[in-house]
Every structure is written in C-alpha cells, then in structure tokens.
Structure 1
Amino acid sequence: MSVTSQNVGPVIHYKEVATLSSFQCPILKPTNYTVWATRIKTILEENGLWEMIEPLETTEPDVKKDKTITAYLFQSLPEDLVLQVAKCKSAKEIWGTLKTRHVGVDRVQKSQLQTHKSEFELLQMKEDESIDSFTAKLNAIVSRAYGLGSTLDESTLVRKLLNSVPEKFIKIVASIEQYSDLDEMTLDETIGRLKTFEERIKSKISSLVENQDKLMFTRHNGNHGRGQ
C-alpha cells in the first residue's frame, strides 16, 4: 500500500516512512539553511544514505535509497518548496536545487566565504567576554563557512582560540602550548581547560573582593569605636 502526495512527485511507501519515525526532520526556512543542511546530512549519514547525494566512485544507483532520501527531504520542506522541487528526477538534484537557491551561485558563494574568512581571522575575545560567549561566535562563523562547503580542521580552531584570548589567560595558554600536542588536541578539550582556568580567576577575584569588604568593615568599626 502506498500514499501519494498530490503533485509532489514520487510515491513514498509506508514501509519507507516508518524508517523516518525515529528522527524529527527540521523544517527548512529562508534563514536557517546552514543548520538545516547540517542536520539533514547527519540524518542521512546515520542511515547510510548520504552517499547518494555525494556518491563515491564505487557508489551504484539505488532507487529505493533515492526515494527514501526524497521522503526525508519532502518531510523537511514547506509546501511551496515541495511543489517547486517535485519535478527533480533524483534526491541529489533536489539537494542541489535547494543548495543553489539558498547558498547562491559560485561567485556569490566565494564572496561569502571570503567574508567568513575575514571574520574568522579578525575575531578576538574581549577582556570582559566569557569563553562560552566567544566560542559561540567562533562556532557560528565555522558553521556558516561549513554551509558554503568550507571546513576548518581541529588544530586550526584550537590555535585560533588560544591566539584570541586576552592576556589574563596567558599562563594557561603557555601551559597548553608547552605540554600538549596542538595537532592532537580537540577544540572541546581546549575550551574545557580555558573554562577551568576562567573559573579559577573568577574565584580568586571573588575571594579578593570579599576580603577587601571584610577589611573595610573592620576598619570602619575600629574607627567608629575610637570615635566613641
């Protein structure tokens, strides 16, 4: 038994739809293409389907897999987009059409990549900024570049982070560079060590402020007693 969406192309079988139930496909919107594409790609990879979008030399055509990918994509598209891509002959063509629509032609894409590259190179952590806030900015730039087909290896991100933090982190940065292999170190590990050091700084500042308050309170009481 099968169910057919009116005017939306290939037939999607119930058996195929059942395999989609464990994943909630995000809906593509005009402003979320990068995140949407990343999530859909992960779902397809998990199900061994991504090779139909980016085939290897040994990848053979598979009609069933192609229809399954189409089912995923149709689930994640608003109605107007479904109707626009329904005439595409394969899931790969649907994916390419959506990418072209949202990413732009090659010339525009290169321009966008250059912009993200400049943002990445100029990004520096402010003195009063937290590690979490800064790494969120860093990851946002990386994600946008990834959506345009550009990837940065882990060691590049680690070095960028270490070179971007303020001078108050110089001790931990020096320790990491001296005792760790930056080519093997992950970004998450680097963030974790910087955050630990950040918490120690906050704790010391908090303790210092508390001690100063106590000292001022003691002096105030002493002066008040002498006055009496």
Structure 2
Amino acid sequence: MTTPTASLLPPVFNGEHYHIWSVKMKAYLRGQGLWQYVEEERQPPQLGPNPTLNQIRMHEEEASRAPRALSHIHSAITDLVFTRIMACETTKESWDKLRKEFMGSDTRRNMQVLNLRREFETLRMQEAEKVKEYVDRLMNIVNKIKLLGVQMPGSKIVEKVMVSLPERFEAKISSLEDSKDLTQITMTELVHALQAQEQRRLLRLEDANEGAMLATYKGKSMQGNYRKATGEKRGKERSNNQWNKAGGMRNFPACSHCKKKGHAEYKCYFRPGIQCRACKQFGHIEKVCRNKGE
C-alpha cells in the first residue's frame, strides 16, 4: 500500500487566515472530485430492483464520496478548530459552520467588502514608488475582495491604475490612448508598458548622474590645476620681485666703506668702528679677517 505524498495532503487550518485556507481546500477537494458533495450536499441515487454487481459497486462508491469529503475536512483542521464542527453530521454543514465562525456573518462580510472598496478607491501611487510595488498593493486588496465573494472586473482595475499614476507617466498614458483601445488592454500589458517607461527613465537618470559626476570631477581637476599653476606663478613672481623690494640688491646705492652694492652700509663687513674678534683690529669683522689663521 502506497502512502500519500506531501503534495496530496490537504492544507491544514489552525484558525488563522481562513480566506487563504478555504481557497486551497476548495482546490484540493475539486482535485479529489468531492467538491460537489460540499457545495450541494449531493446524495447518491437509490438502487433499483434487482441491481447488478456493477450497479451495486457504483452505488457504494457514490455513497462513500460525501463521508470521504467530510473526512478530508476533519483531517485538514487542528483539534482546536475541530471542536467547532464536531457536532456537524454532513459535509456542507461542517463547511458552512467553519465559514460562519471564521468569516463572520453576511453583514460583517459586507462591511469588510465596503472597507476594502474604499481602500481600493483611495489608493494612490507614491512619487518614488515603483510600478510593480504599487500594482502588488492594489492586487492584494482586489484578492481580499474576491475571497469575500465579490468579483471585480479587470477593466476597472486597469482604469484605477491609469488614473492613480504620478505625473511622470502622463506621456506614456497619452501614447497608449493614441495607439490602443484602453477598454481592451489587459493588466499585464499595462504593467509591462509602464515598467518599460520606468526603466527608460531610470537609465536616463543614471546617465545624467554619471555626466554630472564626470563634470564635477573635471571641474575639480581643472580647478586644482588652476590653483597649482596660480601658486607656481605667484611663487615665481615673489622670487623675481624679492630683489625689487626696498632693501634689495638693485635698489641699494654703492656702499661708502667697500664701494660695493647689494647691502646697507650698517651691514657692511668693513665698517670703521667695528672690531675684529680674531686680530683685535678695527675696520672689519672676523668673517673677512685675513689674519684669522695667524
């Protein structure tokens, strides 16, 4: 006897997110061919007189389908949830009990739908938000409304996306209006067109940023070179002009002591009143003394 694989096991409901579990469980029961016994509480036909063995076998198979569907529901819920439906005898009664317990009454469900519709109508795409992020938020609300039993037409969702886009998509919307019938465009086509526009805009922004960074780098480099050249020029000017200042070599007249230019008289090495520390004579300093060695 083969054991069922994990993919064939029903989804387990622990009391949270009933709307998700109900969709999965409905698909599971349909895959097993048992959903009609939950939805309609279908009963097997009665056997006629003198049934054949094949008719008896088919009748037994049909009669076992409703209890099998109920068994699948029991195995798909935890013990805490099972206490809510343990008194229910039929599959439909158990399913409706779970729906009432975890989805609320029709009044409460209608209020939930009304709140979700209001959120759907007021939702707007943010300026810095991407198209996919906004569409995901929008479709999340739509899916919640569908789980509550209310269907929303695809054309209304497309219209909602187009009227709630930021100003940067105005050119794309105008292009779509000129080239296509917006009443026939699908949500997938619209999202792909908007994403293409968004990608082109991002590429242009990246190119503009790279150009600005390159221009800034060149400007700083040229400014640095200019400052360097200016500094070198100023240094040369200072070096060239230091001899033209007051007290420079070219501006001094000939010294009255040594008859040479380029220094002031009070700094001359051959002043009459100065005494040499080497030979003790007057008229010169030790640096230019000829008798210093002796």
TM-score (normalised: structure 2):
0.63
Compared CA separation, residues 36 and 186, structure 1 to 2 (3 A): farther
* C-alpha displacement of 1:186: 2.9
Q: How does 1:26-175 map to 2 (within 5 A)?
A: 26-55=11-40, 63-175=63-175
Q: Please, which moves more after superposition, 112-121 or 140-149?
A: 140-149
Is contact 1:131–1:195 with CA below 8 Å preserved after alignment?
A: yes
Give the distance between the partners of 1:74 and 1:24, measured in 2 at CA. Answer: 12
Give the distance between the partners of 1:221 and 1:159, measured in 2 at CA. Answer: 52
Compared CA separation, residues 206 and 110, structure 1 to 2 (3 A): same
| Larger RCO, structures 1/2 (Cα 8 Å, 6+ apart) | 1
Q: Which runs of 4+ in 1 moved over 6 A?
A: none
Normalized per residue, the structure richer in helix is: 1
The C-alpha deviation readout for 1:156-178, integer Å capped at 9, x for no partner, is 11111122221111222233333
Specify the code of the residue in structure 2 equivalent to 1:70: L
Q: Which of these two proteins has the greater Rg computed from alpha carbons? A: 2
Question: Percent of counterpart pairs with the same letter?
Answer: 23
Q: Mind listing any 5+ residue stretches in structure 1 that lack a counterpart?
A: 1-13
Is contact 2:14–2:81 with CA below 8 Å preserved after alignment?
A: no
Specify the code of the residue in structure 1 equivalent to 2:173: V
Specify the code of the residue in structure 2 equivalent to 1:27: V
Specify the code of the residue in structure 2 equivalent to 1:39: K
* C-alpha displacement of 1:152: 0.6
Residue 22 of structure 1 aligns to a residue whose secondary structure is: helix
Residue 194 of structure 2 is matched in structure 1 by 194
Is contact 1:109–1:148 with CA below 8 Å preserved after alignment?
A: yes
The C-alpha deviation readout for 1:80-99, integer Å capped at 9, x for no partner, is 11232133222222221111
Residue 203 of structure 1 is matched in structure 2 by 203
Specify the code of the residue in structure 2 equivalent to 1:111: M
* C-alpha displacement of 1:48: 4.0
Q: Please, which moves more after superposition, 199-208 or 185-194?
A: 185-194
Give the distance between the partners of 2:182 and 2:176, measured in 1 at CA. Answer: 8
Specify the code of the residue in structure 1 equivalent to 2:22: A
Give the distance between the partners of 1:52 and 1:190, measured in 2 at CA. Answer: 41
Q: Mind listing any 5+ residue stretches in structure 2 that lack a counterpart?
A: 45-61, 229-294
Give the distance between the partners of 1:149 and 1:201, measured in 2 at CA. Answer: 40
Aligned-residue Cα RMSD (Å) equals: 2.6
Compared CA separation, residues 153 and 210, structure 1 to 2 (3 A): same
Is contact 1:34–1:143 with CA below 8 Å preserved after alignment?
A: no
Residue 7 of structure 2 aligns to a residue whose secondary structure is: coil
Specify the code of the residue in structure 1 equivalent to 2:122: L
Is contact 2:10–2:72 with CA below 8 Å preserved after alignment?
A: yes
Specify the code of the residue in structure 2 equivalent to 1:165: L
Q: Please, which moves more after superposition, 217-226 or 60-69?
A: 60-69
Compared CA separation, residues 140 and 106, structure 1 to 2 (3 A): same
Give the distance between the partners of 2:216 and 2:179, measured in 1 at CA. Answer: 42
Is contact 2:40–2:92 with CA below 8 Å preserved after alignment?
A: no
Give the distance between the partners of 1:159 and 1:69, measured in 2 at CA. Answer: 42
Give the distance between the partners of 1:69 and 1:135, measured in 2 at CA. Answer: 37
Specify the code of the residue in structure 2 equivalent to 1:137: R
Q: Please, which moves more after superposition, 103-112 or 31-40?
A: 31-40
TM-score (normalised: structure 1):
0.80
Give the distance between the partners of 2:224 and 2:9, measured in 1 at CA. Answer: 68
The C-alpha deviation readout for 1:122-156, integer Å capped at 9, x for no partner, is 11111111222212211221122122111112111
